Structure formats: C-alpha cells, structure tokens
Amino acid sequence: MLEISAENEFAIQDLLAAFEDETNAQAKYLAFAEKADAEQLHGAASLCRAAARSEHFHAARHARAMRQLGVDVQCAPRKAEVKSTLENMRNALEAEEHEIVEMYPGVLEAARKQRNQTVIRSFTWAMEAEKSHAVLYGEAVALLEAGRSDSWIEDAREFYVCPECGYTAETLKRDESCPVCRCSQERFEAVE
C-alpha cells in the first residue's frame, strides 16, 4: 500500500464520492430502462442503457485514478427509485445538470489546485460527457411531454458511447474523433 499524503487524501475523497455517484447513476439508469421498456418506450430505454454504459466508464476511470493513489474501491449501488418514464427522464436530466453545474466543477477546482493530471482528466471527461446526456435526456423529456409517439422515443435504437470518456451520441461519425477525449469514433460502442 502506498503512503497517502494529506493532499491525495482530499483527491481520494472526491474521487470516491464521484465513483459512488457514477455507480449509482449506472444502476438507476438500468432500472429506468427496464421501466421504459415496460411502458413500450423502447427508444427511451435505449438511451438509459447507453447512459448507464457511459456512467460505467466514468466510474471505472475514477476507480483507476484511485488505484494510482493506492486505494482499491468497490461500491454496491443503492436501489433506485423508479417512477413513470416521464418522471424518470426528468430525474435523470436533473441529476445530469447537478453533475455539470455543481458536482464536477467543485471537485475540479480542488483537483486543479493539486495539479493531479489523472484526476483532472477523469473529472473533466466525465463532466463533458454528462453534457451529452443532459442534451439527450432533455430531448426525451420534451418528446414525452409533447406526446410525440412518431419520434425515436418508442422504437429501440442505437446510441454510441465513447469507451474512454463516456461521450454519448445519437449518430456515429466513424471518420471523426470524439469531441471530448479525441479518441477515434471507430472505437465507440453501439448500445441499443
């Protein structure tokens, strides 16, 4: 076990909180996907599964950063509260906005002071990817509120998830790179 400095202790606390948040988000979105499928909103279910995959990548990257600081972590996700899909999509949108506006900017400020590039990257990539989730969940909320059954919300479809940063897209542009982490979109995972 590495010796943990006081500085690293703060970074580990922030990484652990973010790791737990992402692990819980992954479990919650999988529960939301099941509910959406039961309501015949298969497109919404596809989005939830893609976002869950993305949150998995975020949790894994935060865990890797913690291992580099000498700490091995695990987290059993808490049971998600599942309501109607419209309410679930609103809940997801709110959670994403909280991560973008409060959670990640807060921990990033501390990480920048400590100049730990691994931690800065883990938080920055997650925060930027959450922005793609907020856009997609916002779209789902708008479609459900408008009762748009002729839209993607009812039919299972593919979303594309960057395995490095979790950026999530509606379309795949194979000859382009990820707008967040610059890895090739050839490497994106299709999630339906």
Q: Are 22 and 48 contacting, i.e. CB atoms less than 8 angstroms apart?
A: no
Contact region with Fe ion (CB under 5 A), list: 33-41, 68-76, 150-158, 163-171 = 163-171
Contact region with Fe ion (CB under 5 A), list: 36-44, 81-89, 114-122, 157-165 = 157-165
For Fe ion, the binding residue among 165, 185, 188, 191 (CB under 5 A) is 165
For Fe ion, the binding residue among 167, 169, 188, 191 (CB under 5 A) is 167
Distances (CA, A) of 23 to 52, 62, 171: 9, 10, 26
Contact region with Fe ion (CB under 5 A), list: 38-46, 74-82, 146-154, 160-168 = 160-168
Angle at 54 (CA atoms; ends 78, 156), nearest 5 degrees? 95
Q: What span, in angstroms and rounded, lies between the C-alpha atoms of 148 and 190?
A: 24
Kindly identify the residues of this chain, within the stretch 120-149, that bind Fe ion according to CB under 5 A: 130, 133
The structure tokens 């939301």 sit at 32
Sign of CA dihedral 172, 174, 179, 183: positive
For Fe ion, the binding residue among 178, 185, 188, 191 (CB under 5 A) is 178
Residues near Fe ion (CB under 5 A) are: 130, 133, 162, 164-165, 167, 178, 180-181
